[in-house]
A and B are shown apart, each in its own frame.
Chain A
């Protein structure tokens, strides 16, 4: 069984157009922010080595196009994902509203084994901007209603919370791996972990 453990984590970033998916990915991977990104056509891709629970794993991050007409193309990447990152723009309420459909679409297309507990992470991006429109509470409520999805407020520009968020992403993705292997033995363990994550998130949100 141990041999099946892959040291490769596939992470998909979803969210409306121009919420900052590409920027988040690049901030995390290259520690750089640029306001010169082009709209992503199709998909973009980066890898990064991360250490999670003393294990070195390669994180494959797939950055997708946000415009709706590209959505049907995304299906191909969804398969085999270990974690799905839902991004919205705290200054654009619509991008928050659409999280629901992004999540549903992902679950239906990726058909994970255990949709109820598939690791999602929600990122409210662009907190550096002044004209915030979606309150932290609202976002947290939504996340709680969806089986306690970890929630972070980030700024790809300032690099706020990005590292932390992706650490959680990596950790949860890895747990998804373990879960897949131990699914029958320790079904409750996962829940415990996800609860452990929560207080940490609340702290993060205050910054």
Chain B
């Protein structure tokens, strides 16, 4: 990249030249890259310590006779710089060579480069080249993806083990990172903002504490404040993101309008300026209660003339697109908010005294003048205002869609349902009214009034009924929202009224009469109707909140004093500005503020705090204080006065009043023995609070209330005691802290609950489960997996329609309802997709060593029975549990199964055999590339988690839980990856011979893509046999495996002819058909099993024919021989299986193993000879004979009787198998499927390697004779250690076992 040419005197120190020309040299920084010499080490340290960190490449311009060189380009990568170099070569070299004068050469070059620089930088993001280098350094060091944007970096010291390390603190949108390199000792740290539990600062050091209880300290010499504020801010954004969008909690900053605020010349990064502006805007908005969309444009020092006191007051003018605001330096002395659209004119005025020159006068629409003086830069201000005024956009009510609903806006209910005051109180109200009138006369009325302490005092004394609407609207800021969105409310009301069958509406309706039932207005439809409209409209406006109880109570009070639309906007302002996140799921905002209150109690009422903590009482009681702003907690007329203050003060008043109430009850609370007592104390006290100035006579509540205190005293005392110390800023700080803690607590609670629910699993202890949950949460939050998820989702979106026609069907939503143990999304937060699973698998389990075959992928597909692409936590612990357990036999069985087709398909084996670099990454890449570019669609499906092809309903679920229960009872580990049994598909079975044959042939069609003769048939036949035998034997494990495999087979059934025939469309159709038929496969085998059972006259009961439930019933049978019914394995698969075993063991074969291997090969050979299909049928009877051990060869010992009679169906099957055995293409054709006929061309081989097969029994029996294998598989993996290692690696950005 071209830079502004810079003069250099010592061009070669620290640099080595890579390319020369007459006038240019391309240099490379030492210490970057391979060379390990002392020199480069030193340079590296120097760079790191001195914070120079130049780009590793640069081009200098030099002339032979001059000492001075010019740096003209820098490059982060070699390609970058070479590109520039090439440009020089083509465009400059020849031109320069023609010049004679060296000065001329230099001038020309510099001029040229400058213009290049200017040109290139026009359209760029506005970042300085320096910053670009920094960002790219950051991404390289920490392997961050392109999307992760660096905000700023600071030179910092990190002290670890008392050794200070000087380095760079990088702050990016989602991470705090630290890098130091001193004498080849590298330190890297990555901390996610979302995982910070505590941020504190003392002196020049920032302390960060993460959720897994690690603390880090960084000492900064410069910019300490900026860094600290930045960390706080980004942490807040991260946690808020977590609250708003738990699914993708990555802070992604859109380059907003904020950017233009910062000074263009500033050296700071665009993002940093942007973030700072955002922060300032937020403060500005909160202070003046402006709408969320308002962005501060700038502030200018000025004095305001206040006519009521006849003097100038110093302060700042703040400008934003729609508002002109002023705030005095002296707190609460005076502030003004003038909406831009009401400004009629801005005039300069210079007749003032010398001291107050540079005046302007602003006239509003009502011709009220506002005078400002001592304006630092008057011209700028005026042009700015003019500019803003010219761009002002006055919203107009849009044309609305028409709805067939008639309703009319309810005016303030008090107009109809008048409060009857006694004469005494009436007089008080009138007196108040008069004082307000007087105030309006002096200080103005409406939005643009002078807001001073006087108005606060008036508010604290209580607003008269007649003025409540006006004052509430102004001070809550709701009026601005309303004015900016004319017509929105009507629109929402009508839209909402058209929604039918909404659960939210049901909830609202239920509460209409439970909002303010004592008020006559809500005993008839006037009140409840308006309340319904307001709540429904708001639920529609903000679906994240929807409807939360307490909103009804607050809204009903609004409706008494305000007309319907105003009430709606006040509710909006309440939910969105005044009480952020209060009414969201888990009332998270209120819980955060409870945390704040708890800390305030600790600060101000420390003697009480410990006691209350023990009673655990604050949390229980105060939730309604916050959510309902004391309405319905204290008497209605008293709560009104708190509400008055609330609109001015915000949540602060709730804190103050709460503290005051607790303090008044200090002694009683200290005497309480339990939570109930304390609750009672506070309840009685709160009910006794009364308002003598506003006594509504017709209280229907006959409950005797012991009068305790007037609300006026309460508010007054609260202000005097806590008003000063409790500032908005302090509340914000505490909120930030408790937002972190509350979210953390949610996680902890969640995890505890999930662990409790999974305590019965056979593999992991409590702590291990906790660790697993932690690592899953962390992994899911890493950027990488987030992005992949997104990409995958996109891929899915674009490809799904063609490839997975049935993919829409997985009934995720439906499942949620019947999912045992949690209808609430609690568990879902910990389900993993393939990427996370695979990462964890490779990081945590011992089978990661298996590199030839991607065992993790196989395991995922085996476990993900429903084809949702997600594993829930239970499935995950089962899969991981077995792999990490010490159950050698089960593990070997699992490994065997994982190497069977279709999990390990022929195509995949072929691919692996093709010569190609074997490194993991390449394999991955190639794999993916093939997936997405290969014509053969079946491969793409394979890459994705297998889609589901069958439906799931509640009955299935009952069945599954039943099986799970049985598994648990039996204490058998088998429930592992196989806990869900195959359920009967709901397609009706058309059981004639030809369809059966067709199904059979389609099922395995993808498997031996190249051959289709005898063995295919035989295999299929055998599978059926095995299946049947299995049922007889009642082995759940193998049958589950089998049905899993058939699922998978079905999933990737795309016929191979896609690549060979041009008729892609018909192929797709065919595929669709196949998927359906195949999904019936297990049903067919069930049927076969059923018929077989009749015939075989075994000890089975009818239940067995009901799919795979039956086998469970006699699962008590001994554990031997149960692996017999898994399909047999072919040679290629076996060889890979063997390789995997060796890889997992991580050693060379010893004598034992070699012998075992040879034995197995031999056995496979001998299996060829006794091939005939009927014999394979007999094998199924082996199962019936129960717990027989295979003999030392692993050969089954019992031959079983030939079945005597068969049903028609069965005859057909046998016939099919015989034909297959004959191996003629004609026979295949007879089965009359497009699939078979298409692939028959290539299927002329019944060679030995295809016929070779081995059963799981033989395999296990032989392998178990190998002591070293057994030993290797018996070792238990300590998952906790593995997880801790992974966490460490992640933190330190070390290379991990698995890299995407």
Contacts and interface: CB of A to CB of B under 8 A. Distances in A.
Nearest to B587: A69
A73 B388 CA distance: 48
Contacts of A70: 549, 587, 623
A18 B586 CA distance: 19
Interface stretch (A103-111, A141-149, A184-192): A103-111
Contacts of B700: 36
A120 B621 CA distance: 25
B823 A76 contact: no
Contacts of B616: 76
Contact of B510 (A10, A18, A38, A43): A18
Interface string A54-68: 000000101001011
Given A18-B510, A72-B749, A111-B756, A41 B623 contact: yes
Interface stretch (B673-681, B723-731, B849-857): B673-681
B243 interface: no
B680 A39 contact: no
A39 B549 contact: yes
A39 to B, nearest CB: 5
Contacts of B550: 39, 41
Interface string A19-38: 00000000000000001111
B548 A67 contact: yes
A108 B683 CA distance: 29
B619 A76 contact: yes
A70 B551 CA distance: 13
A35 B676 contact: no
Contact of A38 (B553, B674, B679): B553
Nearest to A41: B624
Contact of B676 (A17, A39, A47, A109): A47
A104 B821 CA distance: 7
Given A8-B674, A60-B676, A67-B507, A37 B517 contact: yes
A101 B516 contact: no
Contacts of B620: 42-43, 73, 76-77
B926 interface: no
Given A8-B674, A17-B507, A42 B621 contact: yes
B1152 interface: no
Nearest to B627: A41
Contact of B753 (A18, A62, A73, A108): A108
Nearest to B753: A108
Nearest to B550: A41
A137 to B, nearest CB: 20
Nearest to A40: B549
Given A73-B591, A73-B623, A77-B620, A38 B676 contact: no
A129 to B, nearest CB: 14
B514 interface: yes
A62 B632 CA distance: 18
Main SS at interface, chain B: helix
Contacts of B632: 38, 41
A202 interface: no
B998 interface: no
A39 B587 contact: no
A75 interface: yes
Q: Which residue, A69, A71, A75, A111, has most C-beta atoms of chain B within 10 A?
A: A69
Nearest to B756: A108
A38 B683 contact: no
Interface string B265-306: 000000000000000000000000000000000000000000
B153 interface: no
B368 interface: no
A20 B251 CA distance: 44
A38 B517 contact: yes
A71 B723 CA distance: 33
B548 A38 contact: no
Interface string B812-827: 0000000001011000
B1026 interface: no
A42 B585 contact: no
A37 B749 contact: no
Interface string B733-755: 00000000000001001000100
Interface string A146-177: 00000000000000000000000000000000
Contact of A41 (B517, B549, B746): B549
Contact of A108 (B516, B623, B757): B757
Contacts of A37: 514, 517
B154 to A, nearest CB: 39
B628 interface: yes
A109 B514 contact: no
A18 B514 contact: yes
Nearest to B591: A73
Contact of B624 (A42, A67, A76, A109): A42
A151 to B, nearest CB: 23
A39 B679 contact: no
A42 B591 CA distance: 11
A77 B620 CA distance: 8
B511 A36 contact: no
B518 to A, nearest CB: 6
Contact of B517 (A35, A43, A65): A35
Contacts of B619: 73, 76
A69 B548 contact: yes
B756 A39 contact: no
B518 A36 contact: yes
Interface string A101-123: 10010001101000000000000
Contacts of B624: 41-42
Which residue, B591, B619, B676, B746, has most C-beta atoms of chain A within 10 A? B676
Given A68-B824, A76-B620, A45 B587 contact: no
A107 to B, nearest CB: 9
B627 A39 contact: no
B507 A42 contact: no
A206 to B, nearest CB: 29
A69 to B, nearest CB: 5
B586 A69 contact: yes
B553 A41 contact: yes
A45 B676 contact: yes
Interface string B538-570: 000000000011101100000000000000000
B513 interface: yes
B40 interface: no
A45 B972 CA distance: 47
A128 to B, nearest CB: 17
A39 B517 contact: no
Contacts of A35: 513, 517
A42 B586 CA distance: 11
B517 A109 contact: no
A65 B513 contact: no
A71 B750 CA distance: 13
Counting chain B CB atoms within 10 Å of each CB, which of A40, A42, A65 scores highest? A42
Contact of A72 (B517, B549, B586): B586
B830 to A, nearest CB: 15
B757 A39 contact: no
Contacts of B514: 18, 37-39
A73 B632 CA distance: 19
The 7 A-B pairs with the shortest beta carbon distances in the complex, nearest first, are A42-B623, A36-B517, A41-B624, A60-B676, A18-B510, A39-B549, A39-B514
Interface of A: 8, 10, 17-18, 35-43, 45, 47, 60, 62, 65, 67-73, 75-77, 101, 104, 108-109, 111
6 contacts: A17-B510, A36-B518, A42-B620, A65-B549, A68-B824, A108-B756
Given A35-B513, A45-B683, 9 more contacts: A17-B511, A17-B549, A39-B552, A41-B549, A41-B628, A69-B548, A69-B584, A77-B675, A108-B753
